[in-house]
Chain A
Amino acid sequence: MAMTDTLRVNPIDCTGHGVCAELLPELISLDEWGYPLIDPRPVPPALDRDARRAVAACPALALKLSRSEAARPVRNSAGPGGTTPRTPR
């Protein structure tokens, strides 16, 4: 059920665009380097639509809604693009 969905970010895929925090400030804020800090609690039903919008809008496809940690795995990013070390900002 949507009520038990929680937001998770794949920190390797996330590049800190910040779109998620703009679309869902109720549950997502940005740290001082621009990376999302996500409310770990289940997404309240009233915010379900906004949460889905934020997931769909993530340019890095790093934000996911998952039922529970084990139930719906997020895909690994083993590709060369996802694993290249970046430079700090």
Chain B
Amino acid sequence: MYRKLAVVAQARASRKVVVANGAESEPASRKDELLLRQAPHLVLDGLQLAAEAAGGTDAHLYLHAAPGPEILRALAERAGQGLDRLSVTITQAPPRFLAGQETALVNRLGGGPALPTFQPPRVSERGLGGAPTLVQNVETLAHLALIARYGPRWFRAAGTDAEPGTMLTTIYRPRAKTQVREVEIGTPLRALLSDGAEVRAWLVGGYHGTWLPVPDATGVTLDHAALRRYGAAAGAGVLAALPADRCGLTEVARVAGYLAAESAGQCGPCLNGLPRIAAALAELAGPGHRKQTRADLERWAGLVAGRGACNHPDGTVRFVRSALATFAPEIARHARGQCSATNRKPFLPLPQGIPTSEDDWT
């Protein structure tokens, strides 16, 4: 947050924009929605504080759905008491995976489609209407508000020395209900994800995240330093333990199909590569596969990574490559025409009805 904030604060401009990003376009994440419902004032406090620090002249709140009664009531309460320096403009994001990307957000706030653009310039240098624009996730702003209230010492009491504080997570486990939890940075993943059921793999971060094999990765903790050793990052805070009765390949192919459909279709490698990657994964998830499919997958992954205007191809490739490594034994099983799953019910959540890339982006 500091780097972006500093860029906007130091910019010489008569207009500066600060945005609370609550688009939460990651289908498995529920934290932002819950935060906005349960603690709207924290987010709005943080938005005003960030605007103050950055010298903001315009404040925006970007939401994945129509604003709920809690946020509207909080805004009315603040307006009634004259609490805020800046009034807040609310904009609704289209239900697309990429709608929360910073450049897509800026396009949408400007009245255009929520499609990513090529950087540089970064939005912190030239964003909405050309103004330096600070985009922060609603959770980050809530943390800022809490630090302002209780001080840095209080904040540092949780987490690790190198990475203080807490984070919001959305947790999927075999037996338990989906849960949003605030957890300390550095918490062992096992403590969050074990519910007694047999598990074959963990997904960390979300659908741009990383699969970790279980039990190999069971010692990992929820912090940047530990996750990085596995090529993973906490990302949107999605943590999922895939039950052993599900087929990891089927889950991966389903999500990859969604990610391919969610490509904005603007960059050639992503537009052409992601559907082929998804089709190859669907083939691996079926009984037997052609000899060249694995090699095709590796090649296409290499061809799309790093070649998009946004991080969608890179995130998708991280998800796919980690799945190929984690579910290697299952790929071998499928090649022999077998599958270890006994339960065909989908586990990872996806939005209702897979969208097509021709869908509306506004």
User: Cβ of B110: which chain A residues have Cβ within 8 Å of it?
Assistant: 78
User: Cβ of A83: which chain B residues have Cβ within 8 Å of it?
Assistant: 107, 112-113, 115, 117, 264, 266
Query: In which size bucket is the chain A interface?
Result: 20 to 34
Q: Is the CB of B271 within 8 A of A10?
A: no
Write out, one digit per residue, whether chain B residues 335-352 have a CB within 8 A of any chain A CB (1) or not (0): 000000000000000000
Q: Is the CB of A89 within 8 A of B272?
A: yes
Nearest-neighbour CB distance to chain B for A69, whole angstroms, equals 7
Q: Is the CB of A10 within 8 A of B269?
A: no
| Contact residues of B: prevailing secondary structure | loop
Q: Is the CB of B115 within 8 A of A13?
A: no
- Of listed A34, A73, A83, residue having the most chain B CB within 10 A: A83
Q: Is the CB of B268 within 8 A of A16?
A: yes
Tell whether A10 pairs with B120 under 8 Å between CB atoms, given A15-B268, A32-B303, A85-B357. no
User: Cβ of A78: which chain B residues have Cβ within 8 Å of it?
Assistant: 107, 110, 112, 117
B103's nearest neighbour on chain A, judged by CB, is A76
Q: Which one of B112, B121, B272 lies within 8 Å of A88 (CB-CB)?
A: B272
| Contact residues of A: prevailing secondary structure | loop
The docked-state distance in angstroms from the alpha carbon of A44 to that of B315 is 32
- Is B188 at the interface (CB under 8 A from chain A)? no
The docked-state distance in angstroms from the alpha carbon of A11 to that of B117 is 10
Q: Which one of A14, A69, A73 lies within 8 Å of B268 (CB-CB)?
A: A14
Nearest-neighbour CB distance to chain A for B325, whole angstroms, equals 24
Q: Is the CB of A12 within 8 A of B118?
A: yes
Tell whether A35 pairs with B107 under 8 Å between CB atoms, given A11-B308, A76-B117, A85-B358. no
Q: Which one of A12, A35, A70, A82 lies within 8 Å of B120 (CB-CB)?
A: A70
Q: Is the CB of A31 within 8 A of B112?
A: no
Interface residues of B (CB under 8 A from A): 103, 107, 110, 112-113, 115, 117-121, 125-126, 264-273, 275, 303, 307-309, 357-358
- 8 example contacts (A-B, Cβ-Cβ < 8 A) are as follows A10-B309, A11-B269, A12-B118, A33-B273, A69-B120, A70-B120, A73-B120, A83-B115
Closest 4 pairs between A and B when the two form their complex, measured CB to CB: A85-B265, A11-B267, A73-B120, A35-B268
